[in-house]
A = this chain, B = another copy of it.
């Protein structure tokens, strides 16, 4: 059986105050063409389909259009789960009505996991759609005491194991941070005061785990796979090779993963050097298309520069921002500020606690803090 696996579309995302909707529509056109050409048995979209709980209307219209073309025009079913950026309830609108058409949306967490059964020459494959949920939400759904992301996910996976028929191949579509995965800057931490990470062993027994959350395409233990994000959504992703993944699941449960690169409308890249040199190099650039890239400039000039952004935009019309490396390196203050910005709320609180209490948070305090902050985050996401 063959799946086209993708995740982390983040439709409606703003990057340096620019809407990426045109870039997203462009690359999703290619994705739809790929679906049409390859005709997989199903498309798996592993969460963070939107960038926020209330996406802009054009993001809603784009998802609507892409799903209709995949399902109605290409005739390929879709399994779509909510990630930590999506609103579980909003994403699930119409789910019951769209199911028989081939769109299987899992937004909200329930005690009985949602599943889809597909068949090939080797028999049945059962796909379990496991939307992202805070531990408190899983606790309410399952009626069990679950303090951490790992405990919550393990309880949900146990519930699946309890109903999964023996001898049937199994696929889990999930949105989680598996220990050992490589992170980027644009993934919103799942947890505070901790990473929210889960061990790969939590997924023992499943043939294929199609994951979302981490933006770099990567495979853990041969059968836990992150398709990665649709586009480069942070500077830390400049070196990523973005792709969607064709996954062949053999009759014996073996997994073979083939990256299928898509070509973005504009690349995201960092250029570094003196302003005059960068401008001269850009003007001499043979490939005009590369001048439309999203360019982040690290300027090494040491003297004063008059409106470098305006000058840069004359050669790179989509330049995002400039950074003066001489200023950024000016002393430890800059580094300290950057380190602070990179910390999660939980880490900041932990270091604050260390300062004032002269002690580390113990496990109970850490769990309590995580619950409070997760509750606040959930309330904030749902209050729009």
Q: Please report A residues at the B interface, Cβ cutoff 8 Å.
A: 54, 56-58, 60-61, 63-64, 67-68, 71-72, 87-90, 92-98, 100-101, 103, 382, 384
A214 to chain B, nearest CB (A): 27
Residues of B with C-beta under 8 A to A98: 94, 97-98, 101
In the assembly, what is the distance between CA of A382 and CA of B56, in Å? Answer: 8
A101 to chain B, nearest CB (A): 5
Across the interface, A89 reaches (CB within 8 A) one of B57, B67, B101, B384, namely B57
Residues of B with C-beta under 8 A to A384: 54, 384
Q: Considering only CB atoms, which chain B residue lies closest to A102 in the complex?
A: B97
Residues of B with C-beta under 8 A to A68: 96-97
The answer to whether A93 and B93 touch across the interface, beta carbons within 8 angstroms, is yes
The answer to whether B93 and A63 touch across the interface, beta carbons within 8 angstroms, is yes
Across the interface, A87 reaches (CB within 8 A) one of B57, B71, B93, namely B57
Closest 10 CB pairs of A and B: A57-B89, A68-B96, A94-B94, A97-B98, A64-B93, A97-B101, A61-B89, A60-B93, A60-B90, A54-B54
Q: Considering only CB atoms, which chain B residue lies closest to A63 in the complex?
A: B93
Q: Considering only CB atoms, which chain B residue lies closest to A95 in the complex?
A: B64
A339 to chain B, nearest CB (A): 35
In the assembly, what is the distance between CA of A173 and CA of B93, in Å? Answer: 23
A2 to chain B, nearest CB (A): 23
A/B interface sample: 5 pairs, CB < 8 A? A54-B384, A57-B87, A67-B94, A97-B98, A98-B98
The answer to whether B92 and A97 touch across the interface, beta carbons within 8 angstroms, is no
In the assembly, what is the distance between CA of A63 and CA of B101, in Å? Answer: 20
A123 to chain B, nearest CB (A): 29
A107 to chain B, nearest CB (A): 10
A254 to chain B, nearest CB (A): 33
Q: Which of A67, A96, A101 has the most chain B CB atoms inside 10 A of its CB?
A: A96
Residues of B with C-beta under 8 A to A94: 64, 67, 93-94, 97-98, 103
In the assembly, what is the distance between CA of A63 and CA of B97, in Å? Answer: 12
Residues of B with C-beta under 8 A to A93: 60-61, 63-64, 93-94
Residues of B with C-beta under 8 A to A88: 57
In the assembly, what is the distance between CA of A162 and CA of B270, in Å? Answer: 57
Residues of B with C-beta under 8 A to A61: 89, 92-93
In the assembly, what is the distance between CA of A57 and CA of B108, in Å? Answer: 11
Q: Considering only CB atoms, which chain B residue lies closest to A78 in the complex?
A: B97
Across the interface, A57 reaches (CB within 8 A) one of B57, B64, B90, namely B90
A104 to chain B, nearest CB (A): 11
A55 to chain B, nearest CB (A): 9
Residues of B with C-beta under 8 A to A95: 64
Q: Considering only CB atoms, which chain B residue lies closest to A58 in the complex?
A: B89
Residues of B with C-beta under 8 A to A382: 56-57
Given A58-B89, A61-B92, 14 further pairs, Cβ under 8 A: A54-B54, A57-B382, A60-B90, A61-B89, A61-B93, A64-B96, A67-B97, A68-B97, A72-B96, A93-B93, A94-B103, A97-B103, A98-B98, A100-B101
Residues of B with C-beta under 8 A to A90: 57, 60
A224 to chain B, nearest CB (A): 30
Residues of B with C-beta under 8 A to A101: 97-98, 100-101
A11 to chain B, nearest CB (A): 12
